[in-house]
């Protein structure tokens, strides 16, 4: 599998940072290391080097390597939620489309946002001890999107007989396929819009004429 990673060059960090800034710095380093080496090889030495701090500093802010990985997962979840919440269109169907367009735009960037570390967490397998956290995180995203579908049905924008959960899974399948396309370097799948066009067809088919 081919990977593209835009790894920031480590630079000397200030010796004193407010705790929250230092914690965020370490979380960003975890995401960088996971993107480059995968979860099993995201060692504390690599994380410390990417963050520009001593290994001991990591444990001032986190009790364990697992806690660092969980914090990185939380950051990915926050980015996913921000992507959904960025759309404020009063029409819930248009909101679903706008979130999809934003996702496509993000996957078209050099770094692909959260796609690469997210796929690495998924690929890491149950031996990391994070499988349940990953599953619950995806379910929370699912529920967030399904709420928009349900809102669309209440507002008469999606037909009542449409299965809300099924339509939400269709939306997530679109996002998963773009994430995988980014990881594989299949730019044409994203920039050529076949992924978004397929989703738009599904949403239009479910919408009230």
pLDDT digits 0-9 by tens, 17-64: 888 999 999 999 999 999 999 999 999 999 999 999 999 999 999 999
pTM of the model: 0.86
Please report whether residue 23 resides in a domain: no
The reported pLDDT for the residue numbered 192 is 86
Q: Is residue 66 part of a domain?
A: no
* Core vs surface per residue 42-81: b (16+ CB within 10 A) or e: bebebbbebbebeeebbeebbeeeeebbbbbbebbbeebe
Range of 90's domain? 71-206
List CB contacts of 192: < 8 A, sequence separation 6 or more.
Answer: none
Residue 28 lies in a domain: no
Could you tell me how many residues make up the chain? 209
User: Residue 209 — pLDDT band, cuts 50, 70, 90?
Assistant: confident
- 176 within some domain: yes
| CATH number of the domain within which 108 lies | 1.10.357
Section 150-156 average pLDDT: 98
Q: For residue 205, what are its two tokens?
A: 């088919």
Reported as a single tens digit per residue, the pLDDT across 1-12 is: 444 444 444 444
Residue 50 lies in a domain: no
Residue 103 resides in a domain: yes
Give residue 10's pLDDT: 45
Vertex 51: Cα angle to 50 and 55 (nearest 5):
95
How many domains is the chain partitioned into structurally? 1
Rounded mean pLDDT of 90-106?
A: 96
| Residue 46: inside a domain | no
Which tokens in the block code for residue 140? 């929370």
Q: Is residue 173 part of a domain?
A: yes
């Amino acid at each position: 599998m081919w990977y593209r990673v835009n790894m920031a060059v480590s630079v000397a960090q200030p010796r004193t940072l407010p705790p929250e800034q230092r914690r965020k710095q370490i979380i960003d380093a975890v995401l960088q290391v996971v993107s480059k080496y995968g979860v099993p090889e995201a060692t504390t030495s690599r994380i410390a080097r990417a963050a520009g701090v001593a290994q001991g500093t990591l444990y001032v802010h986190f009790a364990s390597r697992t806690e660092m990985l969980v914090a990185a997962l939380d950051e990915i979840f926050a980015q996913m939620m921000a992507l959904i919440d960025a759309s404020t269109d009063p029409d819930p169907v248009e909101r679903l489309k706008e979130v999809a367009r934003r996702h496509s735009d993000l996957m078209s960037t050099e770094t692909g946002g959260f796609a690469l570390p997210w796929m690495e967490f998924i690929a890491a397998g149950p031996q990391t001890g994070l499988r349940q956290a990953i599953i619950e995180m995806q379910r929370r995203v699912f529920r967030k999107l399904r709420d928009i579908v349900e809102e669309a049905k209440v507002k008469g924008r999606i037909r009542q007989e449409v299965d809300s959960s099924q339509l939400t899974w269709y939306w997530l399948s679109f996002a998963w396929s773009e994430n995988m396309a980014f990881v594989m370097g299949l730019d044409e799948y994203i920039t050529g819009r076949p992924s978004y066009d397929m989703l738009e067809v599904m949403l239009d088919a479910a919408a009230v004429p």
